[in-house]
Structure 1
Amino acid sequence: MRTLTQWSVADYQHMRRTGILAHRRCELINGEIWDMVPEGEFHRFVNHRGVNYLRDTLQGEAEVFEAHPITLVESEPEPDIAVVRLPDTRYLQHHPYPEDIYWLVEVADTTLAYDLDTKRKLYAGAGILEYWVIDVAGKQMTVFRDIRNSDYSTQNIVSDGVICPVAFPGISIEIQSLVSIPE
């Protein structure tokens, strides 16, 4: 009988530090090391533009990380965008923990089903209050909120207008600034 080896966050971080995973683009998801899909041009463009927009909009309110790890109990994923508490010096000795995170954003061009299912469950289970998935092809965004029974109970699909993050109800985020792609 064969079994799957479950890796702890400490094991995974040790492999990273010692260079075992140096040439791998991967992340730890529920104790398993998953290869990440190579980043396409549209994904990079939407992600980078979204990070710049959020940094400008949230200046002085939050730190906006681009494709950097966060640390959960059994996982160390690398969300495309993490909006986290200030100051940035909080993260000198560790990646952001769930209590540091205001919300996460994944940009999905080839990973939509994975981001809407596996990542949604992972982030809700960790207690992250808000999660957005940008559907590059659909030019829309799914917004998950209101955690109940380790999952988000509210799911809204938006393609225009504004959204106010749960953590910053006085700040309006223009949805088109995140989902539109120039022709």
Structure 2
Amino acid sequence: MTSQDAIPTSHQKALLTTQEFYLLCESGTFRECAKAELLDGEIYTMNAQHRPHVMAKMDLYDAIRDRLNDTGSTLRAVLEATVELDAGNAPEPDIILTSEPYGEGAIPGSSVALIVEISDTTLIMDMGKKQAIYAQAAVAEYWVVDLEGGKLHQMWSVKDDVYLEKRALPFGAKVTCETVGQLAVTLDIGPAYRT
């Protein structure tokens, strides 16, 4: 080592790109995890999904899919697909509305009209880090279904990397998507889904 070589004075994170993350996924690195996501260059593994989470996700997915079909929308609802937002973010949301469901690789972030996360134990992450990532990627609308709190958090109108418009709706209410025309569903999510 020469006197010109810098000696690190603190620990530094090694952040991954989406391409490096995909290589790890393809090699089977995360096969023992329920799922893995790349958020701000860091890998997050997720817990197994239990019935309240799964059934809330499936019922909301069915309602969204059926409404899209009824209105003749060209958007498709997709479950748990990786969305490549940028070079350091490849989340795997619970429900995605995309104009590009077919093709190779991850769903392009630019094709996403709505992301939905079902939150039973992840509310802080979903309302914090993920909300910031989705806003920075200009995802037009973001919903968080708070199973414990009995409400849906709806966010839209992105400007300067934040959602300017927000509201919370109780389970049983009708939610109208602000960025996808004619998409409105009733939140038929009751006490059976609570964790």
Q: TM-score with structure 1 length normalisation?
A: 0.89
Deviation at 1:180, TM superposition (A): 2.7
2:111 — aligned with what?
Answer: 100
Q: Percent identity?
A: 20
Describe how 1:26-175 pairs up with structure 2 within 5 A.
Answer: 26-59=36-69, 60-61=72-73, 62-73=75-86, 74-86=88-100, 88-89=101-102, 92-159=103-170, 160-174=172-186
SS at match of 2:66: helix
Deviates more, 1:51-60 or 1:118-127: 51-60
Deviation at 1:41, TM superposition (A): 1.8
2:30 to 16, 21, 42: 21
Deviation at 1:56, TM superposition (A): 1.1
SS at match of 1:43: helix
SS at match of 1:169: coil
Residue identity matched to 2:49: E
CA RMSD across the alignment: 1.7
Deviation at 1:65, TM superposition (A): 1.1
Aligned residue pairs total 178
Q: TM-score with structure 2 length normalisation?
A: 0.84
Q: Unaligned regions of 5+ residues in structure 1, if any?
A: none
Whole-Å separation in 2 of the counterparts to 1:161 and 1:126: 28
Asked whether the 8 Å contact 2:116–2:142 carries over to 1, the reply is yes
Whole-Å separation in 2 of the counterparts to 1:47 and 1:181: 14
Whole-Å separation in 2 of the counterparts to 1:71 and 1:154: 24
The one-character-per-residue Cα deviations of 1:17-53 (angstroms, maximum 9, x if unpaired) are 1222232321110100012132122111101111112
Whole-Å separation in 2 of the counterparts to 1:12 and 1:20: 10
Deviation at 1:181, TM superposition (A): 4.1
Whole-Å separation in 2 of the counterparts to 1:148 and 1:168: 18
Q: Unaligned regions of 5+ residues in structure 2, if any?
A: 1-9
SS at match of 1:82: strand
Deviation at 1:148, TM superposition (A): 1.6
Residue identity matched to 1:30: D
